[in-house]
Structure 1
Amino acid sequence: MFLQQKLSRTFFSAITAILLVLLIGIYWYSVPLINKEVYKIEKNASRLVLNNVFELASTMQLNLKPQKEEVVHRLRQIIKNSVIAKTGYLFIFDEQGNMLHHPNPNINGTNALLLKDPKTGEPILQELIAVADTGKELEYLWDKPSDANNYSHSKLSLVRHLPELGWYICSSVYIDELQSSGQLLSRRILTMGFIAFMCAIFLALIFSYWVTKPINTLALIARKVSQGDLTVTSGISRTDELGILGKAFDDMVDQMRENIEMLDLKVASRTQTLATTNAQLQQALSESQQAQQQLAQVQHINAVGQLAGGLAHDFNNILTIILGNLLAAQQDNEHNKGLLLRLLPAIKASRKGSDITNRLLAFSRRQYLVPCRVDITVLIVETIELLKGSLPSKITINTDFSSEKLQVYVDANQLENCLINLVLNAKDAMPNGGVITIIVNKRIVDNLLQFD
């Protein structure tokens, strides 16, 4: 915007300066010439008036020679109606210096031989007679009606001689009046030049506005486009270079808008694709983490199972030896009641330990499944007794058994392991404590139940 304003001001200032210099040059060069030429024209006009009157007087003196008074009267009428410049006039005097006709009543009818030229001090009539019919003008000083007795105003006179009548016909005009016409014309020319100058400035302003308005419009549109508004148009509909520039700018903005819209669509599509791919990757990563956790858990269980299986196998061998010796001692001392009372708890505990090792072996998959009919309520009660030492005091196990006796055909060790896992999982789900309820009911199913 600053560049456009500077360009506009520079352009307008340049045109104004050129016009001003041109006007001053024309005035400086032409005014003296005009004044000089107008001065010549006015002098020639004065000479022409004098010559016309002289020719008329010559004709009249030939035609009316016997009637001198009538000639003088008619000449006076003609001279009275003859005007040179603004206040210039014609006057007649004879060879004796008598003023036959003069518009000044103080001079008319008097002898003017005593009138002297204030400039030279010589009799003015003699100076007039000296330039008669020579084609030269006499310049002398005289007063003005508006400035009486001030003989400082230059006048110019032409003189023609009528020898038949002994008359001298003279013209008299103030030089400043001859020059005033030129000055008036110069002032008019200056006024017209000033008017032309103002018109030129006005036209320059219009031309500057005509040139800079589209540029300002394009600058405003460019600023809006830089701020992100791609809906604007220049609105310049011209056939010149600025119109071509405006159309090219509008086409550029349209192309930018189309490119940005296409880019937005591509970005949106690519973003959607990336979002979908990212979701798939997140899901795959989550599944991978879950699989890794499950694999780690399986590996951990396998390791624990292998360790438990090894320990159970070794412990079972020890219990087998102990149980065998206890049974042998029982057979050898059937009649020793006191000893039998001590052997029976040991045998029962050994068998219980053997059952526990068998369960560990089943857990570690080192023992084959042995399904049989099992009273499920008894198995649950025994399992609860086994788990009481593993549960915190803030967790309580309640049971709700059916009144009728319920038996299932299952591997007792596997069912016990299943119950243990369920109770331990429930314990982990209740870090703040709670109640675990085991319910046993009879249920008849029509279709095979499937569990994940």
Structure 2
Amino acid sequence: MNSLRNLPISRRLWLILAVAILMLSIQGGLMLQQLHTGLYAAKGEKTKHVVQGAAGILKHYQGLESSGALSREQAQQQAMDMIRGLRYAGQEYFWINDQTPTMIMHPTNPKLEGQHLSGFKDPDGKALFNDMVRISKAEGAGQVDYRWPKPGSSEPLPKVSYVELFKPWGWIIGSGVYIDDVEAEFRSQALGALGVGAIIILLMAGLVTLIARSIARPPRETVDAMANIASGEGDLTRSLDSAGRDELAARAGHFNAFTGKVRQVIRQSLESARTLDQAARARRHCR
């Protein structure tokens, strides 16, 4: 506490602002982190739901197989044809691979169909189809993140995928969504939050400036006036601004009252001295 007394009042107020900005920055960083995590999790949850819905098509045709209405080959072919044409969110699709892993059906890259994919890796060296097999065997379903080119593009982009094992046929059905729009949305919201934060900081800085001036100026004037009086040649006619209802205005009022009394005492002393001088002159004249 005593160390703060070594700082001028205005600097103490700016120190409060600095601490407030630091706290706002920490809070803002945590909120942005939660926002990014939430946006990412929402993408994964969306992919999970659409894959579970598409898996229902496999269950339907497997039921037709079980009832004898279709052979396994017919049921599988009709299920693949149905899923091949499914789209959501404009261009997102589903694929099917088995547990070897071999691609069974891929609507946007038919060249992959029939290929063994255990050696297939994304640009980061991730064996994504092996991971899909591992997760489907261990948990039945799960999320796999990797990079994959968009249809019509050769540039791999981050993608969040969800895969689910359909045990009766040993198929793994999956779908993924690109998260570049998540990053774009996050940047947009982050920039908006930073803009609001900058406005708040500017308003706080302006308010601190006004408060600092209102608090620091009266004590400085009082110190100057007291130093002037203490020098022995002070101007006792000087008055401080006592407008307001705070403690500083009260102190200025007391200072003005004090200098007023001092002026009155000096005035009375001068008048007494003048009266004595006149009386002394009158006595000399009478002699």
Give TM class, smaller chain: 0.5 to 0.7
Residue 174 of structure 2: which of 170, 175, 180 is its match?
170
Partners of 1:270 and 1:123 in 2: CA distance = 108
Residue 135 of structure 1: which of 141, 150, 172 is its match?
141
Partners of 2:238 and 2:125 in 1: CA distance = 94
Contact 2:126 2:146 in 1 (8 A): no
Contact 2:147 2:158 in 1 (8 A): yes
**Which residue is equivalent to 1:263?**
266
User: 3-state DSSP class of the match of 2:176?
Assistant: strand
Query: How far did 1:92 drift?
Result: 4.1
Partners of 1:146 and 1:18 in 2: CA distance = 51
User: 3-state DSSP class of the match of 1:172?
Assistant: strand
Contact 2:96 2:103 in 1 (8 A): no
Query: How far did 1:267 drift?
Result: 1.9
Partners of 2:224 and 2:84 in 1: CA distance = 86
**Which residue is equivalent to 1:436?**
none
Residue 164 of structure 2: which of 130, 152, 160 is its match?
160
**Which residue is equivalent to 2:231?**
none
* Mapping for residues 199-218 of structure 1, pairs under 5 Å: 199-217=200-218
**Which residue is equivalent to 1:54?**
55
Contact 1:117 1:123 in 2 (8 A): yes
* Mapping for residues 48-197 of structure 1, pairs under 5 Å: 48-55=49-56, 58=59, 62=63, 75=83, 79-82=86-89, 89-92=93-96, 97-99=103-105, 102=107, 104=108, 106-107=109-110, 111-113=113-115, 117-118=120-121, 128=132, 131-132=135-136, 134-138=140-144, 142-145=148-151, 147-148=153-154, 155-162=159-166, 168-174=172-178, 177=179, 181=182, 184-185=185-186, 188-189=189-190, 192=193, 195-196=196-197
Query: How far did 1:51 drift?
Result: 1.7
Letter in 2 for 1:158: Y
Query: Root-mean-square deviation (CA), in Å?
Result: 4.8
Letter in 1 for 2:18: A
**Which residue is equivalent to 2:23?**
22
**Which residue is equivalent to 2:9?**
7
TM-score when scaled to structure 2?
0.63
Which residues of structure 2 form unaligned runs of 5+?
A: 229-233
**Which residue is equivalent to 2:244?**
237
Letter in 2 for 1:135: A
Query: How far did 1:28 drift?
Result: 6.4
Which residues of structure 1 form unaligned runs of 5+?
A: 285-452
The structure with more radius of gyration = 1
Contact 1:214 1:236 in 2 (8 A): no
Query: How far did 1:112 drift?
Result: 3.8
Query: How far did 1:199 drift?
Result: 1.2
Contact 1:160 1:169 in 2 (8 A): yes
Query: How far did 1:58 drift?
Result: 3.0
| Larger RCO, structure (CA 8 Å, separation 6 or more) | 2
Letter in 1 for 2:164: R
Structure 1 residues 113 and 157 mapped into 2: Cα distance closer, same or farther (>3 Å)?
A: farther
Query: Alpha-carbon deviations, 1:318-339, whole Å to 9, x = none?
Result: xxxxxxxxxxxxxxxxxxxxxx
Query: Alpha-carbon deviations, 1:424-452, whole Å to 9, x = none?
Result: xxxxxxxxxxxxxxxxxxxxxxxxxxxxx
Letter in 1 for 2:277: L
Structure 1 residues 163 and 34 mapped into 2: Cα distance closer, same or farther (>3 Å)?
A: same
TM-score when scaled to structure 1?
0.44
Query: How far did 1:271 drift?
Result: 0.9
Contact 1:218 1:246 in 2 (8 A): no
Partners of 2:250 and 2:125 in 1: CA distance = 85
